[in-house]
């Protein structure tokens, strides 16, 4: 084999990877989930007080790679015991201060623990989303030709918001008004769409949105949604359902020490979605159907 051909075959994947990372045409963004920050003693594998250092590592990495935006997929903070609204808001303020060290656009997905003893309005007052009005708990935005949708499944079966006095993590739902908004938003979207949700949308069961099937049908019918990024299920998982990739990122909170951190960079081009996992996060290369 000619030497130049050997070199091309050997190094071409690395060259292509480097080009994709630095290509200004395609979005690259960071994901992190289930930080669960609180000043409380460890509970089993949950090292609550280490979450600030773990998130700081994530933020530093995202700044180093100059990703287009950073999004956390819910359960950003936890609560104190005994329960104290004031202490919980302090936890949220502290972890948001770390998150705000990212030098770019930042977004939040509401998780069930984000409203365990406070309201959504209280959460959004401290944890803001770039360019999004504070009252919006589900919303969408665009980056480099890709449309991104953030869903809020923190409603009970009657359509009432999760908040202090109405918090049951096992009863997450996407209400009719939000599903109607999703249909309309997807109709207007052009090109590739990526969806974010805290609870699982690819299945039924304890960690899933109760009416996940309704949401899936809307996304599938649009023909535009290529991937859904999720949290909530701390072990992480992946499924392909009717042409849509569902990737649940492993949780930051599980395990003591930097080696038990978890976050990822996602790059999207016209043919694939590349997930580069750090620490415990799983790396994957997902194809986009034509």
The DSSP secondary structure of 21-60, one letter per residue, reads: HH-TTS-EEEEE----B-SS--BTTB-GGGHHHHHHHHHH
C-alpha closest to that of 152 among 107, 188, 191, 193? 107
Q: How many residues are present in the chain?
A: 290
Instruction: Express each pLDDT in 107-143 by its tens digit.
Output: 999 999 999 999 999 999 999 999 999 999 999 999 9
Residue 180 lies in a domain: yes
Residue 189 lies in a domain: yes
Q: 20 by DSSP, 3-state: which?
A: helix
Residue 15 lies in a domain: no
Q: 228 by DSSP, 3-state: which?
A: strand
Instruction: Express each pLDDT in 72-91 by its tens digit.
Output: 999 999 998 888 899 999 99
Report how many domains make up the chain. Answer: 1
**CB neighbours of 226 closer than 8 A, spacing ≥ 6?**
192, 193, 194, 244, 245, 268, 273, 288, 289
**CB neighbours of 159 closer than 8 A, spacing ≥ 6?**
173, 175, 176, 177
Instruction: Express each pLDDT in 190-216 by its tens digit.
Output: 989 999 999 999 999 989 999 999 999
Residue 125 lies in a domain: yes
* pTM of full prediction above 0.75: yes
Q: What is the pLDDT of residue 180?
A: 98
What is the rounded average pLDDT of the residues 264-285?
96
Residue % of the chain over a pLDDT of 70: 92
Q: What is the pLDDT of residue 23?
A: 63
Residue % of the chain over a pLDDT of 90: 82
123: domain range? 26-287
The residue ranking higher by pLDDT, 99 or 270, is 99
The β-bridge relationship of strands 193-197 and 225-230 is parallel
Residue 99 lies in a domain: yes
Whether 269 and 254 have beta carbons less than 8 Å apart is answered as: no
Q: What is the pLDDT of residue 204?
A: 93
Whether 164 and 154 have beta carbons less than 8 Å apart is answered as: no
Q: What is the pLDDT of residue 44?
A: 86
Q: What is the pLDDT of residue 8?
A: 32
Domain CATH code at residue 73: 3.60.21.10
Residue 18 lies in a domain: no
Residue 17 lies in a domain: no
**Residue 29 and residue 143: Cα distance in Å, rounded?**
10
Residue 42 lies in a domain: yes
Instruction: Express each pLDDT in 4-28 by its tens digit.
Output: 333 333 333 333 344 345 567 899 9
- Run of H or E residues at 18: helix 3-22
Q: What is the pLDDT of residue 17?
A: 44
Q: What is the pLDDT of residue 15?
A: 37
pLDDT tier at 3, thresholds 50, 70, 90 = very low
Centre a 10 Å sphere on the Cβ of residue 255 and count the other Cβ atoms it contains.
21
**Residue 182 and residue 186: Cα distance in Å, rounded?**
6
C-alpha closest to that of 239 among 212, 258, 268? 212
What is the rounded average pLDDT of the residues 154-180?
94
């Amino acid at each position: 084999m000619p030497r130049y051909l050997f070199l091309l075959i050997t190094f071409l994947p690395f060259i292509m990877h480097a080009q994709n990372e630095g290509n200004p045409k395609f979005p690259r963004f960071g994901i992190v989930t289930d930080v669960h920050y609180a000043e409380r003693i460890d509970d089993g594998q949950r090292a609550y007080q280490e979450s600030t250092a773990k998130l700081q590592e994530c933020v530093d990495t995202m700044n180093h790679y100059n990703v287009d935006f950073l999004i956390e997929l819910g359960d950003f903070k936890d609560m104190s015991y005994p329960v104290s609204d004031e202490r919980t808001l302090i936890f949220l303020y502290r972890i948001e201060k770390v998150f705000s060290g990212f030098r770019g656009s930042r977004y939040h997905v509401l998780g069930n623990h984000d409203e365990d003893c406070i309201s959504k309005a209280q959460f959004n007052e401290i944890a803001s989303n770039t360019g999004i009005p504070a009252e919006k708990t589900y919303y969408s935005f665009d980056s480099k030709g890709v449309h991104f949708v953030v869903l809020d499944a923190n409603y009970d079966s009657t359509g009432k918001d999760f908040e202090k006095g109405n918090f049951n993590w096992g009863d997450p739902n996407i209400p009719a008004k939000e599903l109607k908004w999703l249909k309309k938003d997807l109709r207007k979207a052009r090109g590739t769409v990526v969806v974010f949700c805290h609870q699982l949308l690819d299945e039924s069961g304890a960690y899933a949105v109760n009416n996940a099937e309704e949401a899936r049908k809307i996304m599938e019918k649009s023909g535009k949604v290529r991937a859904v990024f999720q949290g909530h299920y701390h072990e992480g998982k992946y499924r392909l359902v009717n042409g849509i990739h569902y990737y649940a990122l492993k949780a930051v909170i599980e395990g003591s020490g930097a080696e038990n951190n978890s976050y990822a960079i996602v790059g999207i081009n016209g043919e694939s979605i590349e997930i580069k996992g750090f620490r415990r996060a799983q790396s994957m290369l997902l194809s986009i159907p034509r």
